[in-house]
Structure 1
Amino acid sequence: MPFLLHSFLVISKFPCNLKAFPCNLKTMSSQENGSPEYPTWPEFKLPELLSTDGVRQVHATIENEWDPLQRSACQTAAGRALWKHAVHDPLADILAGETYLKSLHEKIKKDCVNKAREISGVILAVRTLWFDSKLEAALHSFDDREAQVVLLGAGMDARAYRLSCLKESNVFEVDFPQVLQIKATLLQAAMDSTNDHQCLMMTAKSITRVEADIRSDDWLEKLQISGFMPEKNTVWVLEGILYYLTDSQATKVLKIIADKCSVTHTVLLADFMNKPSTSLSNSIFHFYSDWPDHLLPSLGFSHVKLSQIGDPDAHFGLLHDPSNLFNKLRSLPRTVQTHPDDGTPCCRLYLVEASGSPNQTIP
């Protein structure tokens, strides 16, 4: 369904040349003849926990009963698991499952063989790290006061179990009932296991799972019934959500969050597709914004900062080749929607931080 965390744009929907060498591998070494030698990605060893009957049955349920968009939450987890040299997410492998781990690993191996400039999943790795860093900074901006973090379309997100910056925060995960129930079952299996997961524990102050559809009119009411307090400082995390909503649905969700700026210090972290990106799959992607830094102030946010993959705050040492696709896009004005060199669509993913408070001045 539309508002789960997804990796379509990371793994399968963007052009096949979107791939990048990881920061902990040597991208090339000099041979005697001076030509570059490209490394291979380390072989992936399937965690033992994924071989247990209980976990296999859970992932079989996902395969048999979830629709493609719901299952893509597992693809996202697979990306985080296989980019573990950059993203610390010890729970990602069990949340992903064998099918998606093996599928992405095969893509990564092919990229290495083909000496690609960017390896599959790099967008997801950078996006995850950007959200992590901005979430930590937002919480610190509250002067260490107790805060709330709301993840809309939480999917297989495990931040409440891996980010120490959440130690004073009440975390709310909003998603479909079947997604949250399956996720809870997998997390419990990880906690109960006797392997490396046994020492894992929740890092957030608390976590509350809210079964709701953000396309409906009652998700905010359900959130408040579950303990969300509108007057408390809040960070709203919308990672991989908005473009699966219709224009009216996405705008309504953003407006609901923007209205909270008149009540308390509010921070929004979200990613936006531009119009050419939605053409990658018109049946899946709907909402887009070529200028989210203009849209959000019109809804009620006073401060907006936009980044693109490859910018100084959205790089994280994972994009070594200066001729990578992201740098090519960044060198073009955002008004350009077709690349002048090859005629391909300029598919951009914008990473956006917006905020507001009761004493704000909207530009």
Structure 2
Amino acid sequence: MSDQENGLPEVRKWPELKLPDLLFTDTVRQAHARIEKEWDAQQRSACQTAAGRALWKHVIHDPFAELLAGETYLTSLHEKIKKDCTNNAREISGVILAVRTLWFDSKLESALHSSSGRDTQVVLLGAGMDARAYRLSCLKESHVFEVDLPEVLQMKTTLLQAAMESTNDHRHLTMKAKSLTRVVADIRGNDWLEKLQTSGFVPEKNTVWVLEGILYYLSHSQAMQVLKIIADKCTLTQTVLLADFMNKSSTTLSSSVFHFYSDWPDHLLPSLGFSNVKLSQIGDPDAHFGLMPDPLNLFNKLRTLPRSIQTHPDDGTPCHRLYLVQASGSPNQTLP
């Protein structure tokens, strides 16, 4: 099967980077200059994620991704992709962000479909530069809440407003969600749920919680507190959690940034109150989307090893794993 049949551009023909004019307007330039100057590594990771979505646009349609990523992160990732293509690398840079995005998109859509989507709330914790409310039609009956720090939400609002003002054709920039509420709160603290409820979140309504690329930036106690708060909602209503977890080895990728890990999130979440948990790894049948054609790439090689193994037997390198986890629970559930 060719790369094109697998959803990949021909390896040596990755599109050249063409930056949109909007990135060079004063408002957008100044906004991204502030990001570089004022944001920490965790906050800037939101721009890196947006860059991944922008450069893998042959599989992800995100009309705001380039704008939210900014020139610095688009250029940096594109250079890595070009180098990977030149070297015939088994894993192209950004593919993990593309697969992760598509997994969250597909699981969110199926969760909303199973609940008929009516009046279901979707909470994006640590929303960053997520534009799902503008790009996923499955949210048309859902109330979406984006929770993040004030500087992040304000910057996002500024950039999106710049996009709206720069075009006369707003059809591809219109919001897809039934409603969108941005909630200023720090999920590392104790009052984010209270602020969410003050903003219109109803604890008794069916809710899908999306925690993409956020848990491992928290301390162990902070992450556990967030997971427990969400798990507690299983006693009130149908509750779905979509989250990604790093294993212990993965936190060594950046000793100063990554903290929380779980080698066995499919054991952890039932202990907190979720009755159904499904774990996938990058490259699994529901987590490759035709983007993992090489059986010898890093992710496929890891999938064949028992999860208890921390170093690869072939070369002694750490087994860096990212687990994609869907968990759910409801008041009438039976815990295992």
**Within 5 A, what are the aligned runs for 1:198-237?**
199-237=172-210
Matched, 1:304 2:277: yes
Provide the residue aligned with 2:290 in structure 1.
317
Structure 1 residues 106, 350: CA separation in 2 closer, same or farther (over 3 Å shift)?
same
Measured against aligned partners, the alpha-carbon deviations of 1:59-100 in whole angstroms (never above 9, x if no partner) come to: 111112212221221111111000000111110000011111
**Which of 103, 107, 131 is equivalent to 1:158?**
131
Provide the residue aligned with 1:350 in structure 2.
323
Provide the residue aligned with 1:13 in structure 2.
none
Structure 1 residues 198, 44: CA separation in 2 closer, same or farther (over 3 Å shift)?
farther
For 1:106 and 1:143, how far apart are their aligned partners in 2? Answer: 43
Judge conservation of contact 1:49–1:195 (CA < 8 Å) in 2. no
Judge conservation of contact 1:130–1:313 (CA < 8 Å) in 2. yes
Provide the residue aligned with 2:19 in structure 1.
46
Using structure 1 for the length normalisation, give the TM-score: 0.89
1:25 partner amino acid:
P
For the residue of structure 1 that corresponds to 2:253, the secondary structure is coil
The Cα of 1:199 is off from its aligned counterpart by 3.6
Using structure 2 for the length normalisation, give the TM-score: 0.96
Provide the residue aligned with 1:26 in structure 2.
10
For 1:194 and 1:200, how far apart are their aligned partners in 2? Answer: 9
Unpaired runs of 5+ in structure 1?
Answer: 1-19, 28-38
For 2:170 and 2:212, how far apart are their aligned partners in 1? Answer: 25
1:113 partner amino acid:
T
Judge conservation of contact 2:22–2:163 (CA < 8 Å) in 1. yes
Provide the residue aligned with 1:135 in structure 2.
108
Provide the residue aligned with 1:290 in structure 2.
263
For the residue of structure 2 that corresponds to 1:304, the secondary structure is strand
Judge conservation of contact 1:150–1:234 (CA < 8 Å) in 2. yes
**Within 5 A, what are the aligned runs for 1:1-363?**
23-27=7-11, 39-194=12-167, 199-363=172-336
Unpaired runs of 5+ in structure 2?
Answer: none
For the residue of structure 2 that corresponds to 1:335, the secondary structure is coil
For 1:133 and 1:257, how far apart are their aligned partners in 2? Answer: 21
For the residue of structure 1 that corresponds to 2:333, the secondary structure is coil
For the residue of structure 2 that corresponds to 1:271, the secondary structure is strand
Structure 1 residues 196, 120: CA separation in 2 closer, same or farther (over 3 Å shift)?
farther
Provide the residue aligned with 1:33 in structure 2.
none
For 1:190 and 1:210, how far apart are their aligned partners in 2? Answer: 21
The Cα of 1:197 is off from its aligned counterpart by 6.2
Measured against aligned partners, the alpha-carbon deviations of 1:30-62 in whole angstroms (never above 9, x if no partner) come to: xxxxxxxxx131101000111111111111111
1:26 partner amino acid:
E
Measured against aligned partners, the alpha-carbon deviations of 1:175-230 in whole angstroms (never above 9, x if no partner) come to: 00000000001011111212776641000000000110011000000000000000
Aligned length: 333
Measured against aligned partners, the alpha-carbon deviations of 1:301-329 in whole angstroms (never above 9, x if no partner) come to: 00000000000000100011111111100
Judge conservation of contact 1:190–1:198 (CA < 8 Å) in 2. no
- Range 71-80 or range 334-343, more displaced: 71-80
For the residue of structure 2 that corresponds to 1:203, the secondary structure is coil
Judge conservation of contact 1:147–1:233 (CA < 8 Å) in 2. yes
2:160 partner amino acid:
L
CA RMSD, Structure 1 to Structure 2 (Å): 1.4
- Range 173-182 or range 52-61, more displaced: 52-61
The Cα of 1:270 is off from its aligned counterpart by 0.2
Judge conservation of contact 1:80–1:92 (CA < 8 Å) in 2. yes
The Cα of 1:362 is off from its aligned counterpart by 0.6
For 2:72 and 2:116, how far apart are their aligned partners in 1? Answer: 43
For 2:116 and 2:169, how far apart are their aligned partners in 1? Answer: 35
